[in-house]
């Protein structure tokens, strides 16, 4: 009986791993084709063929081409939350989010950041849904912060930290793309978070 249960669990684990691998391959092949041909000139059939699956199977993972790009955006929120959960015990909440943003940023090559943003800007649908994804990122960061600092009386402040952090990341990203990567994204993130921290902690000189 135990062997049978173990076999079922192993089979389920293998299926999940294959699903993750297929989705990852679809995303990578889709992005490569988008960069080569543009979103509008890339067909679902081409993406499916490049990933070695059928068009019908494509819809098991994504409902449209736009969702391939959006999956990258949603994945960033999960990466940030995971990094916050692993922050050192000595970190403050905003330091934890800043360090998480920097670590995630370091894992993405500058040229890829610029190209991904360019692709997203070519699709009005993606742009509109990208704005909505920031709300989801805020929720994911807030939930991770609450796990690290579960005291009820800190809940409101942690929500504000999550909101300010996403704002800092958005501003850093906007400047990075306006300057076409002239300054490293890591430096811009440090500057944006530093400005927030300084402003919150500073005293009004007029007081």
**Which 8-state DSSP code applies to residue 204?**
P
Where do the structural domains in the chain lie, given as residue ranges? Answer: 2-61, 66-201
Instruction: Judge if pTM exceeds 0.85.
Output: no
The count of other CB atoms within 10 Å of the CB of residue 141 is 28
Structure tokens at 124: 């009005």
What are the tens digits of pLDDT across the range 71-82? 777 778 888 999
User: How far is 124 from 141, CA to CA, in rounded Å?
Assistant: 26
Query: Can you give the pLDDT at residue 203?
Result: 62
| Phi then psi dihedrals of residue 140, to 5 deg | -65, -40
**Is it the case that residue 102 has pLDDT exceeding 90?**
yes
What's the fold here for domain 2-61? Arc Repressor Mutant, subunit A (1.10.10)
User: How far is 185 from 109, CA to CA, in rounded Å?
Assistant: 10
Query: Can you give the pLDDT at residue 22?
Result: 92
CATH code linked to domain 66-201: 1.10.357.10
What are the tens digits of pLDDT across the range 15-30? 888 888 998 899 889 9
Structure tokens at 81: 């939350």
Structure tokens at 144: 């991770």
Nearest to 82 by CA among 18, 143, 15: 143
Structure tokens at 126: 């993606």
Nearest to 128 by CA among 172, 86, 184, 69: 69
| Phi then psi dihedrals of residue 74, to 5 deg | -70, -35
Query: Can you give the pLDDT at residue 72?
Result: 72
Query: Can you give the pLDDT at residue 10?
Result: 57
């Amino acid at each position: 009986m135990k062997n049978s249960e173990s076999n079922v669990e192993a089979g389920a684990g293998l299926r999940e791993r294959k699903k993750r691998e297929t989705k990852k391959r679809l995303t990578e092949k889709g992005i490569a084709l988008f960069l080569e041909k543009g979103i509008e000139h890339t067909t679902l059939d081409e993406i499916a063929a490049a990933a070695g699956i059928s068009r019908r199977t494509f819809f098991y993972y994504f409902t449209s081409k736009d969702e391939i790009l959006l999956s990258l955006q949603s994945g960033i929120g999960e990466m940030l939350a995971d990094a916050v959960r692993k922050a050192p015990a000595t970190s403050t909440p905003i330091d934890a989010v800043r360090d998480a943003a920097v670590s995630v940023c370091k894992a993405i090559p500058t040229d890829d950041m610029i190209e991904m943003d360019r692709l997203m800007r070519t699709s009005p649908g993606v742009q509109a849904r990208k704005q909505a994804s920031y709300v989801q990122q805020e929720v994911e960061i807030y939930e991770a912060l609450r796990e690290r600092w579960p005291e009820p009386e800190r809940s409101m402040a942690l929500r504000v930290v999550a909101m300010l952090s996403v704002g800092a990341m958005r501003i850093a990203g906007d400047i990075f793309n306006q300057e076409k990567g002239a300054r490293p994204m890591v430096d811009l993130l440090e500057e944006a978070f530093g400005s927030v921290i300084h402003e919150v902690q500073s005293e009004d000189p007029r007081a």
